[in-house]
Chains A and B, each alone.
Chain A
Amino acid sequence: MSTATPESSNAPAAPLIQISNLNKWFGAFHVLRDINLSIASQERVVICGPSGSGKSTLIRCINRLEDHQEGSILVDGTQLTRNLKNIDLVRRDIGMVFQQFNLFPHLTVLENCTLGPIWVRHMPRQEAEETAKRLLDRVQILDQSTKYPGQLSGGQQQRAAIARALCMEPRVMLFDEPTSALDPEMIKEVLDVMTDLAESGMTMIIVSHEMGFAAQVADRMIFMDDGQIVEENTPDAFFNNPQSDRTKLFLSQILRH
């Protein structure tokens, strides 16, 4: 560090995502309890926890696929409320990858990728196609670009879904159990793409049970249970020296099989 700019010396850069006192209910069920979490630009956060602990719900709140009842979520300074304009703004900046891929089966892989840029970013078709091809090449399925999702393997579909999200040039990528629906031999190809993405400096929030992958790419591990954040630590400390009993139990169950 030779020259420190005034901004970086006085105040640390505002976090890209700031979640404060977040509470959410599904009907009477209290699914998220007082979540406080801030995520800096270029940070990689892996969230794990038993099923039903609210980890998917939490990241689905970040791009407003779920609404929340209490607390606030700020994404790059934009407050997420019922305001549709804000929701659109936030969704443009956030890419999401789903467990079930959610590719559009009636469109080719290339069309899946160009849809958002053309209709949301109003990019000229040719430019959108060039971007899409570059990113499909990056996830190594450029040769599949004219096929329909139904003609691809699960691993290829998930890589196409990652490319589709990247085409919107997001500032954050959300991954909701991206490898849980894949056959074992296809998990690696998807994790490789995600590792590559992490190394390129993308801000990533990942819900996953792939602990080896988490140890490798995460800057921070978060363990959730019963709708709250139970433990938060660096991967090293998290795996080698977990503090809470619930974390220990969870890690012993997930690592033993």
Chain B
Amino acid sequence: MFFRDQSEMLPERPAPITEVGVIGWLRINLFSSYGNAALTLVSLALLVLIIPPFVSWGLIDAQFSGDSGAACSGIGACWAWLDQRLGQFFYGFYPADAHWRVNVTALLLVPALLYVLVDNLPGAKFGRWFSYVYPLLAAYLLVGGFGLEVISTDKFGGFMLNMVVGLTGIVLSLPVGILLALGRQSRLPVIRLLSITFIEAVRGVPLITLLFVAIVLLQLFLPPEVSLDQLLRVIIMVTLFASAYMAEVVRGGLQAIPKGQIEGAQAVGLGYWQTMRLIVLPQALRISIPGIVNTFIGLFKDTTLVIIIGLFDLLGHARLLQTNPDWIGDVDHEAYLFSAAVFFVICFLMSRYSVSLEKQLSQDRH
């Protein structure tokens, strides 16, 4: 039979129980095949093996008070140092009577970030300006001058040092990286060659080497009366290092943009910079978001390398604690665990933001 006349509509029926609800979800996600079911059971067993002992070590049997490692039993975790040392972990050797300046800077960071990262907030126009001015404000608050007591940057330390180096690096490495990526594709041979040389030279060298160069070698080439602030040198090196990686991430995005987009822009009469700014970069950066955030996260964790050149960041203070006679031998895991947790929170937030940004951007367009 080749002809059919099914003019009567078939009634809609509910989906079978194996496809919807809790049972459906379990079936589809956890027990879709024998292999998947086996993995689910193994994972469950591992969780049961790991979590209860970890909780009883970290919380139930843990010691939360005491003046030294002697107060800790050794059965549970030793958190007694938190009381004494938490300040150092976050502020380093920044003078205690000026901790409020770090606190204010950190508090103001929240709106400064929000106005850049989230669209359609109330007062967005003023907020954007605040975000642009914030770096200067933060520098003023942290370093001082103009009425505030000047605090030398070698007093910076703890997690605040990680944030200062990391955030400055993040904010600067994106534009520098974009310029390098455009330079690498430039039609002008000099610019192209300079960009390629810079990118390949910086990517080919470990960050530690660059930091050593910044601290030790640079002074040999500079006249003795010129002394560049240590922290500034570190920030410059971290930024340059990250921007070389950023350039390659952005270049990947640039290459994904069809040539027709550039021709369309040229035909409308846009010049090179307008074409890049209005047409190519918005699309290229959107594609590059996962890679960009990946580089940001890498950069942020690399800030712990400042320990090599004698600056004590969060991890540096964890080590100081471990070698302190009062605590030696009692806090080996705890100090690292704490540092790891702090870093994880920040990096995880960045990662989630990137996911939500990608979702939001793809919703807008389709």
Contact = CB atoms under 8 A, between A and B. Distances in A.
Contact of B366 (A92, A104, A115, A150): A150
Contacts of A104: 261, 264-265, 279
B263 A102 contact: yes
A103 B264 contact: yes
B366 A88 contact: no
B261 A102 contact: yes
A48 B274 CA distance: 34
A209 interface: no
A100 B267 CA distance: 14
B12 interface: no
B267 A96 contact: yes
Interface in B251-286: 258, 260-261, 263-271, 274, 278-279, 282-283, 286
Per DSSP, chain B at the interface is: helix
A26 interface: no
A244 B263 CA distance: 35
Nearest to B269: A120
Interface in A67-119: 84, 88, 91-92, 94-96, 98, 100, 102-106, 115-116, 119
A151 interface: yes
B79 to A, nearest CB: 50
A88 B270 CA distance: 8
Interface residues of B, number: 21
A119 B271 CA distance: 10
Nearest to B265: A104
B119 interface: no
Given A88-B271, A150-B366, A106 B282 contact: yes
B364 interface: yes
A105 B283 contact: yes
A170 B7 CA distance: 54
A150 B267 CA distance: 21
Chain A CB within 10 Å, residue with most, of B258, B268, B270, B283: B268
B263 A106 contact: no
Given A116-B269, A168-B268, A106 B283 contact: yes
A121 B268 CA distance: 10
Nearest to A120: B269
Interface of B: 258, 260-261, 263-271, 274, 278-279, 282-283, 286, 364-366
Interface of A: 63, 65, 84, 88, 91-92, 94-96, 98, 100, 102-106, 115-116, 119-121, 148, 150-151, 164-165, 168
The 3 closest A-B pairs by CB, nearest first: A102-B264, A116-B268, A96-B267
